[in-house]
Amino acid sequence: MQLYKSQTLKVYNSLTSKKEIFEPINEGHIGMYVCGPTVYSNVHLGNCRTFMSFDMIFRYLKHLGYKVRYVRNITDAGHLENDADEGEDKIAKKARLEQIEPMEVVQRYTVDFHNTLQKFNLLPPSIEPTATGHIIEQIEIIKGILEKGLAYEVNGSVYFDVAKFNESYEYGKLSGRKLEDMIANTRELAAQDDKKSPQDFALWKKAEPQHIMRWPSPWGDGFPGWHLECTAMSTKYLGETFDIHGGGMDLKFPHHECEIAQAEASNGHAPVKYWLHANMLTLNGKKMAKSTGNNIFPNEMFSGENDILSKPFTPSVVRFFMMQAHYTSILDLSNEALLASEKGFHKLMDSLELLDKLETAPASDFDVATWKQKCYDAMNDDFNTPILIATLFEAVKHINLIKEGKESIAEADKNALKETMHNFIFEVLGLDHKLDAQGDSDKLPGVVDLLIQLRNEARANKDFATSDKIRDQLAALGIQLKDGKEGTTFSVS
């Protein structure tokens, strides 16, 4: 029997502002769409947190036995500088500044995105479609919305008619905004603006002669509006209505609001059952921004090359730190918080080693079955990873007491404890002990070779006290030196 049949999962739905019992549209199957990155710069740590949150959600849904189709797109065209309908395309601008092709920009930062997410041990999505790969689908959606009279064409651009849409549907229901208020609070349209109203948004933008990223369409050469790609790709791969749509909190308005409007205008019904939004990451209590210097990139954390943290931190420690907050809460990153997480992470990993070596007894003092359900209860409560981690540390406490001989555990309980700890730590939270050690083991041969050299120098100087000390202390660490004809080699036990 699949686990999901015995667990009641609740999720916080941004659309209803309520925690709801999660029931997929098709039993046993889940369609999940998450807005991916615009690949015009190295991926931000804040974005990493968002994708890590949905990776944890993806992992838990799979752990529960659901078949999940997880679609996360790559925005490689159409995202304009000010997130609205004006300014330069973010990718085209970068290409112009660096004097390279836009697709070189896309390739460079897509590779960076994948590398970084892999370091954080994120699972790849089931499908990772690109905006430029779905221009035809986007044009088809625009045609449909035009036919329904909910969009209009002006000078080679097509705009969504928000006021017209609002007559039959409700624009603003996700972000809790009312169209009347939006109209009252917006500036007048500039004289050169083609839109009928400031609330209207572009489905298709006419390409100016200097614009490199352009495609032919029934309205002339142009490019799609940013919001449209997600409607096109989610509908194509997950259907007109699917279970979960996720993204950063900052995308709720206008991006997700526009996605809902586009899908409802095209298909006549709501596209998504549960809208999930991940919250942002701050640094030392302030918003991260490149312009103020209050910013750090993942690679700078791993290498230690930054002015903000006292030492390098491994991807596993950073991931553990991220998982210590609920995905809907703001999380503040600081040196102290990371140091504390590092300690906690190692304590958790050490307890797994201890657990392996525990002696068993005929009976248990630790009620493993109840504890195990507590782990599920935490995750069933809108993926509450901080409560899950606190529950895992309850087990750590018992493991230590059993080790000290103050409590006992039976064989079957020990096995259940081990399996549950491994499932939640590695499979659900996505932590990776091996990754954590990788950075150090890479450097080991170089360090030992250096010590062999120092030992050879000591022996050449007849300083046998030093040469023996190096050999013996390495042996104490499990590193054996072997002197042979070809020189000294080493092995690690």
Contact string (CB under 5 A) for Zn ion, positions 430-459, x = contact: ------------------------------
**Which window, 89-97, 109-117, 229-237, 406-414, contacts Zn ion (CB under 5 A)?**
229-237
- Does the bond joining 254 to the residue before it have cis omega, within 30 degrees of 0? yes
- What is the rounded CA–CA span in Å between residue 320 and residue 425? 9
Beta strands in 191-327 (DSSP E): 201-206, 222-224, 242-248, 272-278, 281-283, 286-287
**Beta carbon of residue 15, minimum distance to Zn ion (angstroms, whole number):** 15
What is the dihedral angle through the alpha carbons of 245, 247, 250, 255, rounded to the nearest 10 degrees?
-50
Q: Which is nearer to Zn ion, 142 or 230 (CB)?
A: 230
**Beta carbon of residue 36, minimum distance to Zn ion (angstroms, whole number):** 8
Beta strands in 121-255 (DSSP E): 151-154, 157-160, 201-206, 222-224, 242-248
The alpha-helical segments, DSSP class H, found in 120-241 are 135-147, 162-168, 179-184, 226-238
CB-based contacts of 441, cutoff 8 Å, min separation 6: none
Q: Which is nearer to Zn ion, 227 or 372 (CB)?
A: 227
Q: With binding defined as CB under 5 A, does residue 396 bind Zn ion?
A: no
Q: Which is nearer to Zn ion, 67 or 252 (CB)?
A: 252
Provide the CA 444 distance to its chain's centre, in angstroms. 31
71 with 34: CB under 8 angstroms? yes
Partners of residue 31 on adjacent β-strands: 69
**Which window, 11-19, 215-223, 230-238, 396-404, contacts Zn ion (CB under 5 A)?**
230-238
**Beta carbon of residue 138, minimum distance to Zn ion (angstroms, whole number):** 13
Contacting Zn ion within 146-175 (CB under 5 A): none
Q: Which is nearer to Zn ion, 35 or 396 (CB)?
A: 35
**Beta carbon of residue 229, minimum distance to Zn ion (angstroms, whole number):** 7
**Beta carbon of residue 238, minimum distance to Zn ion (angstroms, whole number):** 13
Q: With binding defined as CB under 5 A, does residue 276 bind Zn ion?
A: no
Q: Which is nearer to Zn ion, 74 or 213 (CB)?
A: 74
**Residue 228 DSSP SS3:** helix
Sheet holding 151-154, edge to edge: 151-154, 157-160, 201-206, 222-224
Q: Which is nearer to Zn ion, 15 or 35 (CB)?
A: 35
Contact string (CB under 5 A) for Zn ion, positions 17-36, x = contact: ------------------x-
Select from 39, 139, 230, 429 the one that contacts Zn ion (CB under 5 A). 230
Applying CB under 5 A, the residues found at the interface with Zn ion are 35, 230
